[in-house]
Structure 1
Amino acid sequence: MEKTPCIATLSIAQLHDHLKRKDFSAKRIVDAYYARIRDFEPEIHAYTQLTSTQAYEAAKRVDDAIANGTFDELGLLAGVPIAFKDNMNMQGTNTTCSSHMLEHYVSPFDATCVANALHAGALPLGKLNMDEFAFGSSTETSAFGATHNPWDTSRVPGGSSGGSAAAISAGLASVTLGSDTGGSIRQPASFCGCIGVKPSYGIVSRYGVVAFGSSLDQVGPFARSVRDAAITLDAIKGYDKHDVTSQHLNVNYASVLQGDARSVLRGMRIGVVPEFMDAQGLHADVKERVHDAICALERMGAHIVEVSLPDARAAMSAYYVLGPCEAFSNLARFDSVRYGHAHVDATNLEDRYELSRSEGFGAEAKRRIMLGSYLLSAGVYEKYYYPAQQVRTLITRDYVEAFKQVDTIVCPVAPRVAFKFGEISDPTAMYLSDMFTISVNIAGNGAMSFPMPPKSPDSLPIGVQIMCPQFKDENMFKVAYALEQEYGSAPLAPAFRHEESRAHSSNAASALTSTTASAPACNTASAPISASELAPSTNETAGE
């Protein structure tokens, strides 16, 4: 008898094929993923809360459609387990931004990206851990504890979307959504060895996503394959009347992923940037793997062209002026009156503001708020903010000129592999984790991280960054698709590939068996999981 594959390793297309053949139900898929979550979540801590009620309701809609013969009328993500970074509003759930400031906040509406995913038939497993208000590169600033890297749990998963990347690498979701303000999708994708896509600014609506830097933020998918990432982006993208920066784009990204690598890359010009490849602080192992990817693309028929981004060296300085200024403005709304943590013993309004914000915000959030306040103050604004905006214009111009010569740019994502917890305590050193990613956000271009396979069993993942001109995101998907044909799609981290339950209990199989189930769950749990076990009440804190 042919062995049925583990549900947690199935692509979107494979899930759809199994559902159509009634090999297993959508409920079975939810059961399987929640079994893995119960098994692995204690050591990974990818989730801030689980949304089992919503997941099983969505699964029932999918199963009803299968029974009625209307499955093909469902959306692109029908029956696909998804999880959302915890800065994305989802109605009836806690949206905490991994901060004590919002730990009791219950979303009254869905963010557009969440609504689009749910409308496409996705099964919402829960909300994912992150650096507090997306301020960080390691998830160490989360008020609810850090997420651990599935490839080595003594190391960080990256940030700020660390939970989103770790959930993919550990097989705790099929696809996830994150947000990227300066590298917060691409860097954790690199550290955790999965696909992470930061679309061009405006492709995905920001409405309902708690803002960090409004001119920099963009939502994007994590996945284990290029096609799954493209399908997810196709499902969540589009114009939204609630976000004036969102765009009408008649592009289907999954549809460009056709043919072999040579046909995909035919005529493709790929840029290499000396300022990035020779940057101080770039570790030799990262440089080697990026070089390997460039050589592979050249062998497959791409034309390699050297291009210059001379002003990109100033991107870090400009970002840490613009970002804190926008963060200071956006976080002013958390005043403890309309919403947010409230200090109950304050004797007057001024004390309430001061005490509530002092208790609610963590150290990194306070650092950025204070920096933004200073940079926007009289006499300082002209000295720093204006020049930073001028640098932004120069960086954008550099990219425009470079992309007249090439279709994509290939470069590192991060200067090093994932570091150990506590290894980097200096904030400035932590900021350098985004030295290759920030300029893309400043210019508004698209970029993604493609995982190069580790060279040895003891090696850690290294991501290759693929950049594209604004609104030409299909270009980077083509390059990633070609690399995937050479190197394969992203595997689960080694410790999370076992198909047997850790408990090795006879209850494990019965716990997740449905009348149509036949696929093993991979590390199935030893007892049935109830909704009350999985999801906190909306009156409970998301971090508990």
Structure 2
Amino acid sequence: MTDVTAMTATQIAGLVAAGETSAVEVTQAHLDRIAAVDGQIGAFLHVDTEGALAAARAVDVRRAAGEELGPLAGVPVAVKDVLTTKGVPTTVGSKILEGWRPPYDSTIVQRLRAAGTVMLGKTNMDEFAMGSSTEYSAYGASRNPWDTDRIPGGSGGGSAAALAAYEAPLAIGSDTGGSIRQPGAVTGTVGAKPTYGGTSRYGLVAFSSSLDTPGPCARTVLDAALLHAAIGGHDPRDSTSVPAPVPDVVAAAKLGATGDLSGVRLGIVTEFGGEGAEPGVMTAFNEAVDALTKLGAEIVEISCPHFQYALPAYYLIAPSECSSNLARFDGVRFGLRVGDDGNRSLEEVMSLTREAGFGPEVKRRIMLGTYALSSGYYDAYYGQAQKVRTLITRDFTAAFERVDALISPTTPFVAFPLGARTSDPYQMYLADLFTIPSNLYGGPGISVPCGLSDGLPVGLQVMAPTMADDRMYRVAAALESAVGTLTPPAL
């Protein structure tokens, strides 16, 4: 049998359902792969060997009993360490939660278990999901399997790196400003941000509550759609959850895989016309546009004039919400506690705990957000940013009256060397230049590989209207059928 770690999730599930292999064999193969290569990659913060094998055995018992298995039963999955997992460490990449084992599962994890997937462990990430390279993890950077001297994107670089290194066929990420799509682009994998509210935030450690969106990561569009279908849908425990079913993303991916985009109108955002993007990225993108045209899509230019203000608006809204959300990490209720020797006040203990527990990027954003929300500055900064968000939403609304979906490069550049941008936060923030608008709008976006630039992956982003996630899967799958998937050099 072909090496199971090189197979897609769809192929693995088919073999398990047919009894041609067992979930335990599949899981052990991936655990062995992690043991062999993760020392070079650093994708995982915690590998739950016992839990994974126990979950796999449960799938095998169900199959032996003749139970009908779900479409992803027996398939291993890696979970970004931003989602709570009962009894399994959840650190959010921060020292302030080092060793914390939550007493409950997030809704996403509950649904993964119900689908019969096998959780391998928790993946590395920028601390509290604040970063674009996974270099801001308190536990060391992850590395890109295409070139281990380069970043795997962020904040969910661990999940994307695990996929590209064949340590897992599926992974879960979260996307606040591009943290699923940007790692997907630079590692040659598929990353999808669902419609905001289309996947539950219950048990997702909050960064920016009006932006955070958990979603699927995979090596193929169909695998991502299957994972999206498994984790999506209304959750009454999340007040922002959309009370509507998930669009039929699996059917859309299968339709797209036929390579027929006749009657589909795709808009290229004029304001993303190559400014700030590397020439190699634009070359790969333009070649992908040509491929979409040959599949029958009609390409039109669309002006979204307020997209140019998305980056500054985001870096006021997200830090403002983070400064509020992270106030709960005070060294009193859970996690790290520093200076509690009986001689210090509660305020001193809280200050010492946060000083020791939060990293520099988290502190930077807390200070930015606290300032933007402070008396006398709220209207000038946070209030104005929310007005810009409304204008960006209107741009999207107007655009989708003319086209079915929008396309752009996912990120302006390919994976950059480790350490190249950590001393310049603004250059780091530019990684999310093309992804942030859809977070501010709340609509879905997906990154799919579209080629190489200097031997490194380039991603194409498809953005769709809210609750029209199926449209982006159709376009992404069609492009995948034309250009194929990408395979990194062997580790």
The answer to whether the superposition gives a TM-score over 0.5 is yes
Would you say 1:105 and 2:100 are equivalent positions?
yes
1:428 aligns with 2:426: yes
- Is 1:55 aligned to residue 52 of structure 2? yes
Counterparts of 1:170 and 1:419, CA distance in 2: 18
Query: Who is 2:254 aligned against?
Result: 258
Contact kept? 1:43, 1:153, Cα under 8 Å:
yes
Rounded to whole Å, the distance in 1 between the matches of 2:369 and 2:335 is 20
Q: Distance in 2 between matches of 1:379 and 1:236?
A: 42
* CA distance in 1: counterparts of 2:452 and 2:223, whole angstroms: 21
Residue 479 of structure 1 corresponds to which residue in structure 2? 475
Counterpart Cα distance in 2 of 1:258 and 1:170? 26
Alignment equivalent of 1:40, drawn from 37, 42, 56: 37
Which sections of structure 2, spanning at least 5 residues, go unmatched?
Answer: none
Matched, 1:405 2:395: no
SS at the partner of 1:454?
Answer: strand
Partner of 1:534: none
Which residue of 2 is the match for residue 380 of structure 1? 377
1:6 aligns with 2:8: no
Offset from partner CA, 1:48-76 (integer Å, 9 cap, x none): 00112221111111111221121x2x333
2:17 matched residue in structure 1: 20
Per-residue CA shift, 1:462-494, capped at 9, x if unaligned?
011111111101111001111111111343x21
Taking only the aligned residue pairs, the percentage that are identical comes to: 46
Aligned to 1:416: 413
- For 2:460 and 2:256, how far apart are their aligned partners in 1? 20
112, 121, 125: which one pairs with 2:120? 125
- Which residues of 2 match residues 124-523 of structure 1 at below 5 A? 124-247=119-242, 248-259=244-255, 264-279=260-275, 281-343=276-338, 344-345=340-341, 347-424=344-421, 425-454=423-452, 459-491=455-487, 493-496=488-491
Q: Which residue of 2 aligns with 1:503?
A: none
One-letter amino acid matched to 2:466: Q
Compute the displacement of 1:250 (Å): 4.9
Compared with structure 1, are the counterparts of its residues 466 and 378 closer, same or farther at alpha carbon in structure 2 (3 Å cutoff)? same
2: CA distance, partners of 1:245 / 1:381: 24
* Code of the aligned partner of 2:175: D
- The answer (yes or no) to whether the contact 2:155–2:180 under 8 Å persists in 1 is yes
Deviations, residues 95-130 of structure 1 (Å, cap 9, x unaligned) = 100100001211110110111011100001000000
Secondary structure in 2 aligned to 1:246?
coil
Unpaired runs of 5+ in structure 1? 497-544
SS state at 1:190 partner: helix
Whether the 8 Å CA contact 2:263–2:298 is kept in 1: the answer is yes
Alignment of 1:71-110 (within 5 A): 72=68, 74-110=69-105
Task: Give secondary structure in 2 for the equivalent of 1:410.
Answer: strand
Deviation readout 1:429-475 (Å, 9 max, x if unpaired): 111111111111000011011012336xx610001111111110111
Which digits, 9 at most, give the CA deviation of each residue in 1:324-351, with x for residues without a partner? 0000000000011011210133611110
> Are 1:77 and 1:117, in contact at CA under 8 Å, matched by a contact in 2?
no
Q: State whether residues 216 and 444 of structure 1, in contact with CA within 8 Å, keep that contact through their aligned partners in structure 2.
A: yes
**What is the TM-score when the length of structure 1 is the normalising length?**
0.88
- Structure with the larger RCO, 1 or 2 (CA within 8 Å, 6+ apart): 1
> Deviation at 1:193?
0.6
TM-score for the superposition, normalised by structure 2: 0.97
Query: CA shift at 1:259, angstroms?
Result: 4.7
Question: Which residue number corresponds to residue 529 of structure 1?
Answer: none
Deviation (angstroms), 1:356? 0.5
- Alpha-carbon contact 1:196-1:450 (below 8 Å) kept: yes
C-alpha distance 235-490 of structure 1, shift in aligned 2 (>3 A): farther
Q: 2:434 is matched by which residue type in structure 1? A: F
Cα drift, residue 252 of structure 1? 2.1
Aligned residues: 487
User: Aligned partner of 1:208: which letter?
Assistant: G
Q: Tell me which residue corresponds to 1:64.
A: 61
Structure 2: distance between partners of 1:417 and 1:444: 25
- Asked if the contact 1:113/1:205 (under 8 Å) is kept, the reply is yes
How far off is 1:257 after superposition? 2.8
Conservation of the 8 A alpha-carbon contact between 1:261 and 1:300? no
Whole-Å separation in 2 of the counterparts to 1:159 and 1:120: 27
Distance 1:283 1:454 in 2: 12
Partner SS for 1:197: strand
SS in structure 2 of the partner of residue 489 of structure 1: coil
Judge conservation of contact 2:247–2:468 (CA < 8 Å) in 1: no
Q: Are 2:177 and 2:439, in contact at CA under 8 Å, matched by a contact in 1?
A: yes
State the distance in 2 between where 1:261 and 1:68 align: 34
Q: Compute the displacement of 1:261 (Å).
A: 5.7
* Displacement after TM superposition at 1:263 (Å): 6.4
SS of residue paired to 1:494? coil
Q: What is the distance in 1 between the residues matched to 2:33 and 2:256?
A: 35
The aligned residue for residue 533 of structure 1 is none
Give per-residue Cα distances to partners, 1:479-533, cap 9 Å, x unaligned.
1111111111343x2124xxxxxxxxxxxxxxxxxxxxxxxxxxxxxxxxxxxxx
CA separation of 1:417 and 1:260: change in aligned 2, threshold 3 A? closer
Amino acid at match of 1:207: Y
CA gap 1:26/1:198 in 2 versus in 1, 3 angstroms: same
The alpha carbon displacement at 1:264 in A equals 3.9
Q: How many angstroms apart in 1 are the aligned matches of 2:193 and 2:354?
A: 31
Q: In the TM superposition, what is the alpha-carbon distance from 1:5 to its structure 2 partner? A: 1.5
For the aligned residue pairs, the C-alpha RMSD in angstroms reads 1.3
